[in-house]
Structures are given as structure tokens and as C-alpha cells.
């Protein structure tokens, strides 16, 4: 579900940036959930996932037409964690330095 929300936001930003800079291309989204990545990339019917709302299936369509691709990144390498959760001092510093914030 969070992956679909991030894809929606990324597509909006892509449209906005393409108007300013006339650049196109696929969007890479990093996910630390291998199961969410597999669910988004698998377009077949699965009995266990039939409860997922139709509005989240657009992510599969965007992957299918190569507008978005998802890359697995382990949790300990996810730099965006500094923006979403409380971290230890060591992890916080690693994320801040990795993002280039001074």
C-alpha cells in the first residue's frame, strides 16, 4: 500500500519536473519489502491478495509499461529512514551524511 502511494507521488513529481526541464524516463523506487516488490510486479491473480483495493493495481500497470521500476534496498541502507522514523544517533548520522545534508 505504501509502495502505491509513493508511486503516485513520484508520478506527480515526474510530471511536474518534466514540464520544467523537459526530461523523461522511468522512475526508480526503492523498497525494503521484498514481498511488496513481488506483489507489485506479479500481475497474476492470487487468492490471498484479492482484498487489495483496485486503486492500488495501477502500480502494476505502471511497472508493466516501464514508467516505474522497483529496486530492493535493505532497511539498513535506506537513507530515507531519517525522514520517516526515529533512529539511533549512529543511524541518523549515516542517513544525513548519505543524503548530503550538512
This prediction has a pTM of 0.75
Which tens digit of pLDDT belongs to each residue from 45-80? 566 666 566 666 788 888 889 899 999 999 888 888
90 half-sphere exposure, CB direction, 13 A CA radius: 2
How far is it, in rounded angstroms, from Cα 58 to Cα 36? 14
User: Does 99 fall in a domain?
Assistant: no
pLDDT tier, 29 (very low <50, low <70, confident <90, very high otherwise): very high
User: Does 59 fall in a domain?
Assistant: yes
Range of the domain at 55: 2-74
Number of domain units in the chain: 1
Amino acid at each position: 500500500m505504501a509502495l502505491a502511494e509513493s508511486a503516485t507521488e513520484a508520478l506527480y513529481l515526474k510530471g511536474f519536473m518534466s514540464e520544467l526541464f523537459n526530461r523523461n524516463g522511468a522512475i526508480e523506487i526503492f523498497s525494503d519489502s521484498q514481498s511488496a516488490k513481488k506483489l507489485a510486479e506479479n500481475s497474476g491473480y492470487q487468492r490471498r491478495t484479492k482484498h487489495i483495493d483496485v486503486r492500488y493495481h495501477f502500480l502494476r500497470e505502471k511497472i508493466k509499461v516501464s514508467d516505474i521500476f522497483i529496486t530492493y534496498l535493505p532497511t539498513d541502507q535506506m537513507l530515507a529512514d531519517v525522514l520517516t522514523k526515529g533512529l539511533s544517533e549512529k543511524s541518523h548520522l549515516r542517513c544525513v551524511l548519505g543524503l548530503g545534508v550538512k
